[in-house]
Structure 1
Amino acid sequence: MAQVVLREVVKTYGNLYAVNHVSLTVEDGEFVALVGPSGCGKTTTLNLVAGLMPISGGDIYIGDTLVNDLDPKDRDIAMVFQNYALYPNKTVFQNLAFPLKMRKLAKPDIERKVMEAAKVLDIVHLLKRLPRELSGGQQQRVALGRALVRDPKVFLMDEPLSNLDAKLRVQMRSELKRFQRDLSATVIYVTHDQLEAVTMADKMAVMSGGVLQQYDSPAQVFDNPVNTFVASFVGSPAMSLVPLTAVTRGTDMSLQSPEGWNLSLSPANARKALSASSDKIVLGARHSTVRLHKQASPGAVPGKVYTVEPTGDITFVQVYLGAAVVVVSLEPSVAISPDEPVWIEFDQNKMHLFDGETTMALKAA
């Protein structure tokens, strides 16, 4: 396996930047997920690493080798696609053996490598079957096996689980992660599903508009989003964002809504608000850090219930605070109804503040 380094990587189509000066390092044996909405540049970035399209600028290294001008076959990478791309008229064994035959390996070496991969992925009993005789999860294992037999430096995976049903997707997430850990494999994994990234990846690269927004561990991205885009994309449900205005009265600072309510800030949060480029502040809060009261309560602000979504072990409640919507999680035993007036209390130690002009997270000076 090998380290992968992207330095100021660019891909343009005319004046459009599909990938805009992206720099990141994937360490040897690391699982990195590229995440973001459709059109954010994550698949294009993966294709640039694979050599499936020419790079417009910057450098890509796999190990110590600059691969900008190398063909895909010379980069020592293996790809696993969304549609599995198995040969329908070949058995599982023949599908696994095909890339080895193309490299003209001896027949005993081919059989050995195929059996080793089949044992790792628990598909030995499927070797004589055709792809149409396999379930979706079994086909995915075969696609992984075909990549594994090549013993590549890097595995590149493009939404490999998106064709599976929800239950099988959860199972395959665990199996993929175990596969990666057992082999100490270097994996770059593209997904639009941030839950996949959070549960599987050592690091997440969150992208939007071709720009790398944040690159860190899933825990850091979740707990300390660098801007409102990351805050609103990572998490299920996403972080609630409330646009407000900072108001100073003497030595006290509060956030004021267009509807007129005020939320006093702790000294630490006041220092954060003072570092903003204007008086426009966006308050961010995860559902688990917000408390809902049915009566007016000190420090709580008024709202109205919009929807109630029971999920079994937890109930999510969407509350209107003026034009903004705040999601709160409640115990299933709490009775709550749409249009009910409520009061929302934000945890001053766990709330996030963002610059309303730049969208960047604010830090205490």
Structure 2
Amino acid sequence: MAHVVLKDLIKTYGSFKAVNNVSLTVNDGEFVALVGPSGCGKTTTLNLVAGLIPITSGDIVIGDRVVNDLDPKDRDIAMVFQNYALYPQKSVYKNLAFPLQMRKLPRDEIDKKVKEAARVLDMTQLLERKPRELSGGQQQRVALGRALVRDPAVFLMDEPLSNLDAKLRVQMRSEIKRFHQDLKATIIYVTHDQLEAVTMADRMAVMNGGYLQQYDSPAQVFAHPVNMFVASFVGSPAMSLVPLEASTASGNTVLTSAEGWRLELSPQNAQKVARATTKKVVLGARHSTIKLHKSAVPGSVPAKAYTVEPTGDVTFIQAFLSGVIVNVSVPPTIAVAPDEQIWLEFDQERMHLFDGETEMALKAS
């Protein structure tokens, strides 16, 4: 396997920059997910690495080679696409063997590689079947196997699970993760589903508008989003963001809403707010860090329940607070009715604060 380095990568279409100065390193044997909404530049970045489209400027390094001007076949990569791209008239065995036959490998070596790939992906019993006789998950496994037999330096995967139903996606997530662990493969994986990235990747690159917003482990991106976009994109349900205004009252820093309620901040959070470029501050909180009360308690703020979504082991409440929707999770034993008056208490240790102008996370020091 090999490492991949992107240096100041740019791709333009006329005046539009689809990829804008993206720099990152994928270490040897690392699983990196490129995530973001449609049009963020993640698939374009993958296609640049693959050589399917030419770069405008910057460098792509695979292993020890700058591959900017190499054809896809010379980059030592293998791609797994959203559509399985299997030959319908060929058996699974012949689908797996085809890329090796194109390289004119000896027949016994092809047979060995095909059977080893089938063993690794637990599909030896499928080798004589045609694609139409396979389930979606099995077809995707064949597509993985066809990439595996080539023994590439890097695997590139473009939303390979998006055509599967929810249950199969969960199963295939586990299989791809095990595939990575067993082979110690270098994988760059594109998805719009941040849950796939969080559950599978060693590191995730969050993109928006062609820019790389944050590149870190899923745990760090979830716990310490660098800006409001990352905070609202990573997590399910998304982090709630409440626009407020900072001021000082009786020597304490408080956040004030348009409706008039005030939230006094801890000394550490007051330090964060002091670093803002404006009085406008956005409070961010995950659903699990907000306590719901049926009556006012010290430190709580008034809200109104909007919708109630029981899911079995937890109930999600969407509440109106300061003109925005806030997500709160409660045990199923707590009954809340739509339009009911409630009070929300934010955990000062786990709340996030963002600059209302720059939208960047505020840090104490």
TM superposition score normalised by structure 2: 0.99
**In structure 2, C-alpha distance between the alignment counterparts of 1:325 and 1:96, rounded to whole Å:** 50
Is 2:162 the counterpart of 1:134?
A: no
Q: Deviations over 1:335-360 (max 9, x none)?
A: 10000000000000000000000000
**In structure 1, C-alpha distance between the alignment counterparts of 2:249 and 2:235, rounded to whole Å:** 35
Shift of 1:324: 1.4
- 1:278 matched residue in structure 2: 278
1:87-98 alignment to 2 at 5 Å? Answer: 87-98=87-98
Shift of 1:250: 4.1
- 1:48 matched residue in structure 2: 48
Matched residue SS, 1:152: coil
Shift of 1:325: 1.3
**In structure 1, C-alpha distance between the alignment counterparts of 2:316 and 2:22, rounded to whole Å:** 36
- 2:289 matched residue in structure 1: 289
Q: Deviations over 1:170-200 (max 9, x none)?
A: 0110010000110000000000000000000
1:222-241 alignment to 2 at 5 Å? Answer: 222-241=222-241
Matched residue SS, 1:98: helix
* Structure 1 letter corresponding to 2:168: L
Matched residue SS, 1:243: strand
**In structure 2, C-alpha distance between the alignment counterparts of 1:41 and 1:289, rounded to whole Å:** 32
**In structure 2, C-alpha distance between the alignment counterparts of 1:152 and 1:226, rounded to whole Å:** 34
**In structure 1, C-alpha distance between the alignment counterparts of 2:42 and 2:107, rounded to whole Å:** 38
**In structure 2, C-alpha distance between the alignment counterparts of 1:57 and 1:316, rounded to whole Å:** 47
* Structure 2 letter corresponding to 1:163: N
Matched residue SS, 1:6: strand
**8 Å CA contact retained: 2:76, 2:154:** yes
- 2:110 matched residue in structure 1: 110
Matched residue SS, 1:317: strand
Shift of 1:249: 2.2
Matched residue SS, 1:37: coil
Number of aligned residue pairs: 365
Matched residue SS, 2:185: coil
**8 Å CA contact retained: 2:303, 2:320:** yes
- 2:341 matched residue in structure 1: 341
**In structure 2, C-alpha distance between the alignment counterparts of 1:154 and 1:263, rounded to whole Å:** 50
1:102-181 alignment to 2 at 5 Å? Answer: 102-181=102-181
Q: Which runs of no fewer than 5 residues in structure 1 stay unpaired?
A: none
Q: Deviations over 1:217-255 (max 9, x none)?
A: 000000000000000000000100000000112421100
**In structure 1, C-alpha distance between the alignment counterparts of 2:81 and 2:358, rounded to whole Å:** 37
**8 Å CA contact retained: 2:242, 2:322:** no
**In structure 1, C-alpha distance between the alignment counterparts of 2:115 and 2:204, rounded to whole Å:** 33
- 1:262 matched residue in structure 2: 262
**In structure 2, C-alpha distance between the alignment counterparts of 1:248 and 1:322, rounded to whole Å:** 20
The runs of 4+ residues in structure 1 deviating greater than 4 Å are none
Q: Deviations over 1:266-293 (max 9, x none)?
A: 0000000000001010000000000000
**In structure 1, C-alpha distance between the alignment counterparts of 2:312 and 2:167, rounded to whole Å:** 17
**In structure 2, C-alpha distance between the alignment counterparts of 1:259 and 1:60, rounded to whole Å:** 52
**In structure 2, C-alpha distance between the alignment counterparts of 1:341 and 1:194, rounded to whole Å:** 33
- 1:3 matched residue in structure 2: 3
Shift of 1:322: 2.5
% of aligned pairs identical?
A: 74
Q: Deviations over 1:115-148 (max 9, x none)?
A: 0000000111111111001000100110000000
Is 2:362 the counterpart of 1:362?
A: yes
**In structure 1, C-alpha distance between the alignment counterparts of 2:318 and 2:287, rounded to whole Å:** 10
- 1:34 matched residue in structure 2: 34
1:214-225 alignment to 2 at 5 Å? Answer: 214-225=214-225
**In structure 1, C-alpha distance between the alignment counterparts of 2:163 and 2:49, rounded to whole Å:** 24
Q: Which runs of no fewer than 5 residues in structure 2 stay unpaired?
A: none
Q: In angstroms, what is the RMSD of aligned CA positions?
A: 0.5
